[in-house]
């Protein structure tokens, strides 16, 4: 039996009850919240391993709930339930901190697989990362999901930080989209999926990965991405880095 605790934020009482029965049968501890406000009033006092949040909640949207939770639990794993399929909506959800989406009406088997995949990733069963990585002016600290760059401390969501660790651990190596999908999502992705591309674009922007700093994150269309560092940056990798106080 599992010891994982899951919070479900869903205003449809019948569906929430069916979901609780299904997840409890799989060994998960489940707490249902019929409104966003009730959930937010309790989430700071209770430690959940996973959040399952409906996009359309009457008092607050699922996006707003994730954005609020992210302020004090930046690495909390979450799955969003939604009937939306628009690319812009999916990007909004990813930016808010969602790790995965499950379409409504929910297929129980698919939801079960997505839950296992997200929990496996967040509990370290998919990848083993080095303690820290230094490359040029960048220092990546896994314990706080923080990237130090010059005088900036950039705290990233867990998925984005894990992606950064993959690239910075393997500079000047081309990483295929399927490799990234397996390492970060634990699954094979559809060829047309834009999930990886969206994460890469956000990472590039947040970390200012462009040729002016000697390190850039570039695409080989149809295959994958490579973190390209010039020789000067590679030579400075071993130089000590002074972290901001």
pLDDT at 2: 60
* Burial readout 28-41 (b: 16 or more C-beta within 10 A, e: otherwise): bbbebbbebeebbe
pLDDT at 208: 93
Domain extent listing, the chain = 5-122, 133-238
Instruction: Enumerate the H helices of 87-126 as residue ranges.
Output: 87-96, 108-122
Per-residue pLDDT at 236 exceeds 60: no
Q: Quick one: DSSP state of residue 237?
A: G
Instruction: Write the pLDDT tens digit of every residue in 28-37.
Output: 999 999 988 8
- Residue 161 near residue 147, CB atoms below 8 Å: yes
Residue in the structure block whose two tokens are 């401390």? 153
- Residue 35 near residue 12, CB atoms below 8 Å: no
pLDDT at 245: 35
Query: How far, in Å, CA of 120 to CA of 50, rounded?
Result: 11
Instruction: Write the pLDDT tens digit of every residue in 85-122.
Output: 666 677 777 777 788 888 888 888 888 888 888 888 77
Query: How far, in Å, CA of 244 to CA of 106, rounded?
Result: 47
Instruction: Write the pLDDT tens digit of every residue in 173-217.
Output: 888 877 787 777 765 555 556 788 899 999 999 999 988 878 999
Provide DSSP, 153-207.
Answer: EEE--HHHHHHHHHHHHSTT-EEEHHHHHHHHTSSPPPTT--HHHHHHHHHHHHT
Instruction: Write the pLDDT tens digit of every residue in 34-72.
Output: 988 889 888 877 888 999 999 888 888 888 888 888 777
Specify which residues 5 forms β-bridges with. Answer: 29
The pTM for the full model equals 0.52
Query: At the top level of CATH, which class does the domain 133-238 belong to?
Result: mainly alpha
Query: How far, in Å, CA of 66 to CA of 74, rounded?
Result: 9
CB atoms within 10 A of CB 175: 19
β-strand 146-149 against 138-141: which pairing, if any? Answer: antiparallel
Instruction: Write the pLDDT tens digit of every residue in 114-170.
Output: 888 888 877 754 444 456 889 988 999 887 889 999 878 999 988 899 999 989 988
Query: How far, in Å, CA of 156 to CA of 138, rounded?
Result: 14
pLDDT at 129: 44
Annotation: CATH topology of 5-122: Rossmann fold (3.40.50)
pLDDT at 234: 53
């Amino acid at each position: 039996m599992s010891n994982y605790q899951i919070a479900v934020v869903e205003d449809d009482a019948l569906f929430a009850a069916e979901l609780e029965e299904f997840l409890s049968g799989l060994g998960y501890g489940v707490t249902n919240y019929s409104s966003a406000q009730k959930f937010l009033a309790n989430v700071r006092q209770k430690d959940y391993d996973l959040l399952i949040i409906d996009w359309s909640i009457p008092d607050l949207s699922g996006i707003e709930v994730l954005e609020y939770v992210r302020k004090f639990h930046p690495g909390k794993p979450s799955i969003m339930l939604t009937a939306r399929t628009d690319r812009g909506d999916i990007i909004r959800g990813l930016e808010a901190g969602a790790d995965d989406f499950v379409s409504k009406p929910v297929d129980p088997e698919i939801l079960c697989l997505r839950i296992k995949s997200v929990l496996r990733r967040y509990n370290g069963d998919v990848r083993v990362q080095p303690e820290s990585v230094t490359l040029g002016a960048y220092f990546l600290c896994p314990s706080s999901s923080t990237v130090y760059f010059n005088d900036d401390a950039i705290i990233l969501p867990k998925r984005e930080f894990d992606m950064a660790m993959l690239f910075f651990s393997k500079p000047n190596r081309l990483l295929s989209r399927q490799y990234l999908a397996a390492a970060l999502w634990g699954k094979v992705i559809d060829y047309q999926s834009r999930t990886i591309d969206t994460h890469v674009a956000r990472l590039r922007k947040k970390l200012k990965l462009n040729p002016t700093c000697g390190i850039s994150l570039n695409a080989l269309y149809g295959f994958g991405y490579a973190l390209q560092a010039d020789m000067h940056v590679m030579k400075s990798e071993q130089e000590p880095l002074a972290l901001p106080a």
